[in-house]
Amino acid sequence: MAQRLELRETVSAAQAQEAFTEAILGYPPLAVQKAKAALGSSKSYIIKLQLATALAAAAEGKLSQEIAEEVAKSRPEDTTVQAIGLPLIRAEVAVNSGNASKAVEVLSAATPYDNADTGIL
């Protein structure tokens, strides 16, 4: 329906959610395929962060970090991006690289927001 109505951001958001779901359910290749399909059609920084999170969960760390860094550069004053979204992605990449202590260190930036409802996590 969203595709027929040309609601690109809605389609991209659904694809990002599907990609993340595939990644956490153990289907990384399908997650990567869905995330890459959504990348070109979205201009939303939130959807790009969701796609980067899905890619990180699918152990596609390099692309995930590239997307996250691009969003971070475009929104240097955005607390949600800088203190929550970016550290979350970096931590996921660290965990997938077998470096849990780095993941904990990276997530320390989000500690002040630990009890907040960010809407993206």
> 3-state class of 61 per DSSP?
helix
Q: What are the tens digits of pLDDT across the range 70-91?
A: 999 999 999 889 988 999 999 9
Range of the domain at 21: 8-113
pLDDT band at 92 (very low <50, low <70, confident <90, very high): very high
- Look at the block and give the residue holding tokens 């040309």: 6
pLDDT band at 2 (very low <50, low <70, confident <90, very high): very low
Is there a domain that residue 102 lies in?
A: yes
CATH number at residue 107: 1.25.40
pLDDT of residue 55: 96
> 3-state class of 114 per DSSP?
coil
Is there a domain that residue 121 lies in?
A: no
Nearest to 24 by CA among 53, 62, 63, 64: 53
The count of structural domains within the chain is 1
